Structure 1
Amino acid sequence: MSINLSVNEPISRIVLASSSPRRKELVASLDLSLPVYILSTDADETVQDHWTPQETVEELSLLKATAALAMLPKRGDKSDGTSDLIIAADTIVALGGDILGKPRNDDEAASMLERLSGHQHDVFTGIACIAVDSGKTLVASRRTKVRMKELGSERIRRYVATGEPRDKAGSYGIQGLGSTLVEEIEGCYFNVVGLPLSLLSDMLERYGIRVL
């Protein structure tokens, strides 16, 4: 985790740099009493070969947050001292040293699920927060271990046919029908969904935003 200790400016709005409806719902569930602005970015999500899974999600979430910062208009003319807070996140599945992102097509989704079948894998989610006016930044990540059931080819085919895997890291969504494929998890459930709320709440507190 990278932390600037003196993050004191009041935050007036959350800018969620994500098009994910799941992350939008999770942020809304915190009931922050702040407006949330959704801003999708076109950040380059190329993964460098030397990055570990933890480095991957932290670097990519920071890239998304930085891209959102560049897209927002400058707010230096504001007189009340308030600031937007950008939140960006990235989630990957890691199996045996290989990073599994979102499948490019249904065949790749089926291939990923075949690899995950009967094995334990890691889910990493990185979060990056940037206060727009000051540029003060926090970056952190969380890991959850997930074990899949033994999945037969017919079950994989039926699941892929639902379309659910198409925009999911590792080709499954634990909050949907993919929950029936999971045998057990060790760690934060919301991390697997795509936004670890416990970690996010700790980071928000560093900006003076208290969930509880």
Structure 2
Amino acid sequence: MTKFILASASPARLKLLKMIGINPQVEVSNYDESLVDLLNPHNLVNSLAENKASTVAQNHRDGLILGCDSVLAVNGEIYGKPENEKEAINRWRKMRGNVGKLYTGHALLDLNHNQKVVKCGITEVYFADVDDDTIVAYVATGEPLKCAGSFALEGRGGFLIDKIIGCHSNVIGLSLPLLRQMLSELNYRVTDFW
């Protein structure tokens, strides 16, 4: 059986993979994201995902390696994970009542056949027009500090989202439909990893 390696520390991505029957080996890349300075969110997340997967690939000769990265773009500004509570609160004040696009880059490296597929999932996120007290209380939970865009759809942050248009799991950090397509392009099926 081909080994599947997740080049990410994200518990949400790991949970999504386990949910579909893939129990990956987790190996965090520790790639320095500051090395990539791109203004286009689509190109940024694809580059970061590929660099993370490639960094982990240096330790392996075979298997599939999945690297991912997510950012949120609102009114031309790109948001990754906030550095602190103050930044998260300020972001939420800009995001509330607004629409953002969540970009998740996916890089799937097939070391067995020296191939790769890189794709970006984009989902529109409509933020509720919440008051300052709600924003401060949400940020105080610590949840927004761990997430691109300062919210977790699968957590308390889901209550602060009015709707999404596009792939739900993409907002969590890994588009399952996109992963299915990528596996297919490399001549794999999800059932190969059950």
User: Would the TM-score normalized by the shorter structure come out above 0.5?
Assistant: yes
TM-score category (smaller protein): over 0.9
How do residues 57-72 of structure 1 correspond to structure 2 at under 5 angstroms? 57-70=45-58, 72=59
> CA separation in 1, counterparts of 2:190 and 2:112?
22
Question: What's the counterpart of residue 203 of structure 1?
Answer: 182
Q: Which runs of 5+ in 1 are unaligned?
A: 1-10, 76-82
Aligned partner of 1:25 in structure 2 is: 15
Equivalent residue letter for 1:20 = S
Instruction: Considering fraction of residues, name the structure with more helix.
Output: 2
Distance in 2 (CA, whole Å) between partners of 1:167 and 1:202 is 28
Aligned pair count reads: 190
- The answer to whether the 8 Å contact 2:96/2:129 transfers is yes
Query: What is the CA deviation profile of residues 28-76 of structure 1, one whole-angstrom value per residue up to 9, with x for unaligned ones?
Result: 12214xx521000111212424x31110110110010111111x14x4x
Displacement of 1:160: 0.6
Alpha-carbon distance in 2 for matches of 1:210, 1:14: 12
Q: Which has the larger radius of gyration?
A: 1
Q: 2:50·2:106 contact (CA, 8 Å) conserved in 1?
A: yes
Secondary structure, aligned partner of 1:12: coil
Shift of 1:136: 1.0
- The CA RMSD over aligned residues, in Å, is 1.4
Percentage of pairs with the same residue: 33
Q: Give, in whole Å, the separation in 2 of the partners of 1:66 and 1:206.
A: 19
Between the aligned partners of 2:42 and 2:70, the Cα distance in structure 1 is 10
After superposition, give the CA deviation of every residue in 1:56-99 in whole Å (9 maximum; x if it has no partner): 110110010111111x14x4xxxxxxx31000100100011110
**Partner of residue 26, structure 2:** 38
Deviations 1:160-184 (A, max 9, x none): 1111111101111010000110011
TM-score by length of 2: 0.93
TM-score of the two chains, using structure 1 as the length reference: 0.85
